[in-house]
Amino acid sequence: MRYDLPHTLQVFVMQPVLEIRVPEDFALWPIVGAEPHGFLPLSGALGPGEVGTAVMSIAACNDAVPEAADQAPRPASSLGAFLHGLLALDDLFVSGGLRVTDTSTGVTLVPGCCNGLEERGDWLDVLDGGGWASFGHDPSSLAERRGDTVRLTVDAERDDSPVIELPTVELRRLLAGAERTWPASSASPPPGRSGVFRSVRPRSRPRSHVRWPCPPELS
C-alpha cells in the first residue's frame, strides 16, 4: 500500500503544544502575549518570554491547595501563593497535548479541552494497546488504529470532520521525534520550579485530582 499523494509531498508534523490562558492582570514575571485558548509549541528553542508564559500557564493549571494534610500551607505572598501548587504537587496537570498536521492537505488535529500533556503516553495505546485514544473535547479529537494505518479525526462530534490518515510506522516515528524535542527548560525560568518541563512525565489515566476548569463556553 502506498501513501504518496500524486504530485504532492505528504509530510506529517507533530508538536507538543501547551494551551495558554493568561490569568487576569498577571504581572509576576515577563511573558509574551497569547491568543485566548491558543497553543504554544514547546521545544528547547523557547525564548525567555515564552518560557515565562509556559511556566505561568502550568502554574495556573495547578493553582490549588494540595489535599494532603501534611502539605505546607499556601504562602501569603502573591508569588509564593501562585507557585504553591506547581512546587507542592507530585503530578502536574498541563493543559495541551500533541498537535498533528498533514502539510499536504492543511488538516490539523489539536488537543481538546481538559486534555493534558502528561497524557501523551495515551498515543502509544493506539499503537500497542487498545487501538484508540481520545484527546479531550471541543474539539473531540480521536485516534484509531486500522491495520497498518492510523486515522486521526479532528472532531469526532462532527459527521463531516476532517481526518488525517498515516501509517503506524510514521506515527511511531513522530512520537519519538516529539519526545526528543521536549524542552529541557534550558532557558532560565522565572522564579519557581527548575526544569519544570521535565517534571511533566508521560502517563496514562488516572490523572491528578487538580483540574483546570473548562471555560464557560465549553462546559
| Per-residue confidence (pLDDT) for residue 200, from 0 to 100 | 52
Statement to judge: residues 55 and 163 lie in one domain: no
Q: What is the pLDDT of residue 22?
A: 78
Which domain range does residue 57 map to? 18-94+182-196
Instruction: Report pLDDT for 210.
Output: 40
b/e per residue 89-98 (b: at least 16 CB within 10 A): bebbbbbbbb
Residue 8 has pLDDT above 80, yes or no: no
Q: Verify that 62 and 120 share a domain, yes or no.
A: no
Is the same domain home to 165 and 58?
no
Regarding whether 174 and 129 lie in a shared domain, the answer is yes
Mean pLDDT of 28-57: 87
- Is 111 or 67 the better-scoring residue by pLDDT? 111
Q: Is residue 1 part of a domain?
A: no
Distance in angstroms (rounded) separating the CA atoms of residues 124 and 171: 9
pLDDT band with cut points at 50, 70 and 90 for residue 13: very high
Kindly state whether residues 54 and 101 are assigned to the same domain: no
Q: Are residues 105 and 87 in the same domain?
A: no
Q: Do residues 129 and 84 share a domain?
A: no
pLDDT at 186: 38
pLDDT the model gives residue 190: 42
- If one compares 91 and 165, the residue with the highest pLDDT of the two is 165
Best-predicted range by mean pLDDT (2-6, 18-22, 90-94, 133-137): 133-137
Residues 89 and 123 in one domain: no
Q: Can you give the pTM of this predicted structure?
A: 0.79
C-alpha–C-alpha distance, residues 33 and 50, integer Å: 9
Q: What is the pLDDT of residue 171?
A: 97
Does residue 1 carry a pLDDT above 50?
Answer: no
Give yes or no: residues 33 and 110 share one domain.
Answer: no
Residue 43's pLDDT is: 86
Position 137 confidence tier, pLDDT thresholds 50, 70, 90 = very high
- Residues 75-124: tens digit of each pLDDT: 889 999 999 888 888 788 999 999 999 999 999 999 999 999 988 889 99
Name the average pLDDT for the chain.
Answer: 81
In-domain check, residue 131: yes
Q: How much is the CA Rg of the chain, to the nearest whole Å? A: 18
User: Is the pLDDT reported for residue 134 higher than 60?
Assistant: yes
| Residues 121, 88 share a domain | no
